[in-house]
Copies of this chain bind each other. A is one copy, B any other.
Amino acid sequence: MAEKQVMIFALDDSDHSFYALEWTLDHFFPSPSTSSFKLIIVHAKPNPTSVIGVVGPGTTDMYTMVETDIKKTAQKIIDRAKELSKSKGVANVACEILEGDARNVICDAVERHHASLLVMGSHGYGTFKRAVLGSVSDYCSHHAHCSVMIVKKPKPNN
């Protein structure tokens, strides 16, 4: 059997993201044992400093608290993803929690694993937020050196 291609699924904590993961499991792994992909779920957790701002005297406790909270949240997200994958019969899933800006973390993971496909949910940022922050999916669809699938959650009236 040919070596499986690597699919990176970039997961955040949004409903969009979990909808996208379910869609991916249903459409790319309908028969998990014969799928041509190996699934790696990547979650980018923020750096505590990026959450609380500048670290200085008197912020050590807050830094530790925030760091612990970020770790717990990230683990919960990954646990939920593993459970969802298992419920769809996709047991052989690798998961990575990585620290940093999601755009860099995701594109780096694509390179490191020589992925041929990156899948992510659409984040539905409004125009303002998109213009200010840039959009993770926009950035990755331009910069990731592989095919990119953006899964959008259908609107209720569709």
Contact = CB atoms under 8 A, between A and B. Distances in A.
Interface string A117-158: 000001000000000000001100100011111111011001
A47 interface: no
A145 B149 contact: no
Nearest to A34: B30
Contact of A28 (B27, B147, B148): B27
A104 interface: no
Contact of A154 (B116, B141, B149, B152): B116
A114 interface: yes
Contacts of A141: 137-138, 141, 150
Task: Classify chain A's interface size.
Answer: 20 to 34
Given A28-B27, A114-B158, A150 B152 contact: no
A23 interface: yes
A152 B117 CA distance: 9
B155 A145 contact: yes
A75 interface: no
Contacts of A155: 145
B152 A147 contact: yes
